[in-house]
């Protein structure tokens, strides 16, 4: 068996490379970034717009990549929802992960009335700008927007059509959010999705606070895993 594995689930519009700022710090773990079709290394594949299909795709990747050691999942924003869906599927398969880390989201059932995937381009771009984390000038570049908007719409549709409200898993959950995020006051919503332990931490920052605290996030992940030994 190899090192314990940490599977990373990217945010909407993200890809295999979305966690490069954090992966070099995770020296105790085998870090395995995952990627949905239609972007990055899988740009030649069709985008998925269905939550169950996205979860199935990711579970297939994890199954092939498991090294026999315990594994954990970390998902940011869209990735948090997908990670929860993956845990449900893995528990059914009797391959339950040891820990679930979710960030940038207060979880299923919180503010699920929005429909970003169907917004007009200008309104979607404004929402993305308000969310934070966009490189300067990114949203003003027509070529970039033509490439990324279809990906973002597909990803938002995946999240917005999830059916996770009543699910409960058996693994510990650790939630993280930025203090400037919408719905940060509802972060403890995640507690109702596990029969095991629940912890959370609120960082200073917006939706993409993760870029400012890579070492702190790594410390949390490694400490939580060590607590299970």
The residue-averaged pLDDT of 170-194 equals 96
Give 82's pLDDT tier (boundaries 50, 70, 90): very high
d(CA 80, CA 55): 12
Q: Please, what is the average pLDDT of the chain?
A: 90
Give 120's pLDDT tier (boundaries 50, 70, 90): low
Domains with residue ranges and CATH for the chain = 5-227 (3.40.50.1820)
Contact 177, 203 (CB under 8 A): yes
Range with the poorest average pLDDT among 16-25, 56-65, 130-139, 211-220: 130-139
Give 77's pLDDT tier (boundaries 50, 70, 90): very high
Half-sphere exposure of residue 36: CA atoms within 13 angstroms, side-chain side: 30
The residue-averaged pLDDT of 139-146 equals 78
What's the DSSP call for residue 144?
A: H
Q: Is the pLDDT of residue 44 over 90?
A: yes
d(CA 208, CA 205): 7
Number of H helices, E strands in the chain: 5, 6
Give the per-residue pLDDT at 112: 61
The residue-averaged pLDDT of 178-186 equals 94
Give 194's strand partners.
Answer: 169
Six-digit token pair at 67?
């090294």
Structure-token match 């795709």, residue found: 57
> Cβ–Cβ contacts within 10 Å for residue 30, how many?
15
pTM: 0.92
Q: Is the pLDDT of residue 223 over 80?
A: yes
Q: Which residues contact 184 (CB under 8 A, 6 or more apart)?
A: 106, 177, 178, 202
pLDDT tens digits, 3-28: 999 999 999 999 999 999 999 999 99
Give the per-residue pLDDT at 151: 92
The residue-averaged pLDDT of 129-156 equals 77
Residue 172: helix, strand or coil by DSSP?
A: coil
Q: Is the pLDDT of residue 119 over 70?
A: no
How many percent of the chain have pLDDT more than 90?
A: 73
Range with the poorest average pLDDT among 39-48, 66-75, 112-121, 144-153: 112-121
């Amino acid at each position: 068996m190899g090192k314990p594995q940490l599977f990373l689930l990217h945010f909407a519009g993200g890809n295999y490379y979305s966690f490069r700022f954090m992966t070099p710090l995770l020296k105790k773990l085998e870090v395995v970034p995952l990627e949905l079709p239609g972007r990055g290394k899988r740009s030649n594949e069709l985008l998925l717009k269905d939550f169950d299909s996205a979860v199935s795709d990711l579970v297939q990747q994890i199954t092939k990549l498991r090294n026999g050691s315990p594994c954990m999942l970390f998902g940011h924003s869209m990735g948090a929802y997908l990670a929860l869906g993956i845990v449900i599927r893995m528990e059914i398969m009797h391959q339950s992960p040891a820990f679930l880390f979710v960030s940038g989201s207060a979880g299923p059932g919180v503010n699920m009335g929005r429909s970003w995937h169907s917004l007009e381009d200008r309104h979607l771009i404004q929402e993305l700008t308000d969310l934070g984390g966009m490189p300067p000038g990114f949203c003003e570049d027509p070529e970039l927007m033509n490439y990324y908007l279809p990906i973002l719409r597909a990803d938002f549709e995946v999240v917005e059509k999830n059916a996770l409200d009543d699910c409960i898993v058996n693994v510990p959950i650790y939630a993280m959010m930025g203090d400037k995020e919408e719905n940060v006051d509802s972060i403890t919503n995640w507690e109702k999705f596990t029969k095991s332990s629940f912890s959370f931490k609120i960082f200073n920052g917006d939706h993409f606070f993760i870029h400012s605290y890579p070492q702190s996030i790594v410390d949390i992940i490694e400490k939580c895993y060590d607590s299970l030994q």
